[in-house]
Structure 1
């Protein structure tokens, strides 16, 4: 499917824009599932000022989707009608500051932040090594793994409103709960400040290595997957419910429930977004019939079917 090309109009109304605009850009390369339809417009801003300028001049009626590493994202086959904003190199800087603090752009990989903290002898951020995404996603979803959560270490987060205004949120203002932040959906996170505690670099790196080994031995890390598919229900584990419902290895076309860890869905090569979503819904149906529990999607599913 092809959308109307609105990039000439955008360029005309934004003469000082420095970032890249692409019409009907493929989105499959943007997500770990490597599937999905086109983006009507793909915008890659140079930096925060460029993004603010873009938002200030963008028609408020045009839908916006923000993508970092795309590790927890399924874009449907009909694509995204509107603008997809890709936070790239201009949002990936990580720096260590006084007071056992680390500042990171929203596009920085979580593992990069964990590594910077470890090398600086800052403990408490190692859990980020176990989250296969970028800082923006960790802020939006209170990302967590291996005993830690974003809410445990965040000092403040900065972002831009849909009008391009800079906003800052303290930890308390983020409204964190399990895999959720109550910050309005139209806020685009641009930066985060974290604070850890004193630690020994060698010990922290050893902890990170242990997390790496644990992930490699229990999760399908080298496949086209979207990470954890469903949120853990209160007092339970999603993978145990999926397994008990007989869904381990379940397959629709080239989409399959992982044999290694059945809270992961895998694209074996040619699965459509529809295949992957249908597989997830079938898993939810079987779990509901078996246990009465309604699993919630953790993967963000967006776009036209």
Structure 2
């Protein structure tokens, strides 16, 4: 998953996969793009460019869906999801859907908080008018950069740590000499230090142990406590339920 690590004991409950149901994507009469929670971010990037809109190209570099991007204010290449949001649609446990405005949410770097007991069902985005040819070129450049700088050929959950103010998690990890260190088959990527890759049959427990090891070493050497961006859910094997960010 993107920015998600499920513990080895799994999740005690029902898991809903939105990509199998909430997949509508359309251009609205007011010029905004409406995308349901299960739409891949990369699909929005391509669709908006085809409609002569620009600004959403960065979404091509986010390997997740709209629901996740809204939930964590996903971003890359200097842009973030909520920069372009005009409204969202939510759903609660009873199935009631609501349209919410920006004032209903508090948005920060990789963090979004809003009405309790509601989940994102769709987002409405406003991008600026532009040229399709130019937009396609931007997407091509961003994907080439991503492929050259991130370990896309190995299983991973995306960026592990949030960038601290005024610095980069990858720089701090590399400066601490942690590139390439492993716990079992879970290793800090040699290509990009803010990624932990599965080089074989790594367990979630190995990844969690490596995360804690990196945090401790960086704090000791650099004086900075890295905060996880990846969300850890579920139960440890044979353990109890827990959830943390």
Cα distance between partner residues in 1 of 2:116 and 2:79: 24
Pairing partner for 1:182 from 113, 132, 137: 113
Which residues of structure 1 form unaligned runs of 5+? 1-69
Looking at CA atoms only, which structure, 1 or 2, has the larger radius of gyration? 1
**2:135 maps to which residue?**
204
Could you say what secondary structure the match of 2:138 adopts? helix
Q: Is 1:123–2:54 an aligned residue pair?
A: yes
RMSD between aligned residues: 1.2
Alignment of 1:42-191 (within 5 A): 70-184=1-115, 186-191=117-122
Do the aligned partners of 1:99 and 1:195 also contact (CA within 8 Å) in 2?
Answer: no
Q: What TM-score results when the alignment is normalised by the length of structure 1? A: 0.75
Which residues of structure 2 form unaligned runs of 5+? 237-245
**1:273 maps to which residue?**
204
- Deviation at residue 186 of structure 1 after TM alignment: 3.6
Cα distance between partner residues in 2 of 1:75 and 1:92: 24
* Residues 216-252 of structure 1: CA deviation (Å, up to 9, x unaligned): 0100112100110000011110000111111100111
> Which structure is higher in RCO with an 8 Å CA cutoff and minimum separation 6?
2
Count of aligned positions? 236
Alignment of 1:281-300 (within 5 A): 281-300=212-231
Cα distance between partner residues in 1 of 2:30 and 2:148: 35
- Deviation at residue 87 of structure 1 after TM alignment: 1.0
Do the aligned partners of 1:76 and 1:303 also contact (CA within 8 Å) in 2?
Answer: yes
Could you say what secondary structure the match of 1:103 adopts? strand
Cα distance between partner residues in 2 of 1:218 and 1:164: 42
